Amino acid sequence: GGAGYYNTSAFTSLNISSPTGNVGAQYVGTLTRRTREEDDHWRFIVGAFAELASSLEADNTSLVNSFVLGGTGVEFPRDTVAFVDGASGSVRLPLAYGLGYSIFNEKWLVSLEYRRRDWNSLRVDVEGYQLPEELGASVSYALGAQFRPGGARAKTFLERTLFRAGVLYQEDYLRVQGQQLGKIGTTFGLSLPLLNSSTRSRFNLGVELGERGTMEGDRIRERYADIYIGFTITPDIREVWFRKRRIQ
């Protein structure tokens, strides 16, 4: 800053703990029945879940201090303006809920999902911690599809590979200049079988491309690309380590 002025930095850490709970239910039904061997057998799943509102224990540590910048850009602290160390309190999380619907057969799976949590009902009662002035409801919509070339009788590596794609739209709980920020994205992925045809374990690879925010009203928009890598280990009695040895 100029003569007689100092820069200010602020650090806040809010640690939250305590168990939470959620409930859910789903129903599986039949859309079309198979009358011939080659017919598709379409079924559906409809489900709902709720994460109950809960009160969680919280500890806050925050520090506000003034500093000056050296000629090389290094920060030199001056005075501590405010300091809170381990102040205890509580955080009241609002209810979250969602709905889903899927149709599937031996080769295809198509799913729709909706989720919502009203963050404007969030309450934080912890010394030294202040919420952003504007919070809204976080809402997300997602549509996805999965294709398995070989269906239920898949044998080769390609026939057992799962191909996935989807689109999503999300409204963030933060508001900037009175407007809620949105995110839109597309996803692509593969689920590759591991080892031989007797295993259900998989290697999963996914990519999400999208953008957040808006350029309207001098706001910020960012484009992003996320990569996801994971393993799914599903034990099966047909796998090698479950087979009883004939010779010990």
Residues 231-244: tens digit of each pLDDT: 988 776 555 555 56
Q: Both tokens of residue 122?
A: 């969030």
| 9 contacts: CB under 8 Å, gap ≥ 6 | 64, 65, 67, 75
Which pLDDT score is estimated for 1?
44
Contact 170, 140 (CB under 8 A): yes
- The predicted model scores a pTM of 0.74
Percentage helix, strand, coil, to 5, in the chain? 5, 60, 30
Select from 146, 39, 135 the least CA-distant residue to 93: 135
What residue spans define the domains of the chain? Answer: 1-105, 132-248
| 248 contacts: CB under 8 Å, gap ≥ 6 | none
| Residues of the chain where predicted confidence (pLDDT) is lower than 70 | 1-5, 34-39, 73, 132, 196-199, 215, 217-218, 236-248
| 182 contacts: CB under 8 Å, gap ≥ 6 | 169, 170, 171, 172, 212, 213, 214
Which pLDDT score is estimated for 154?
82
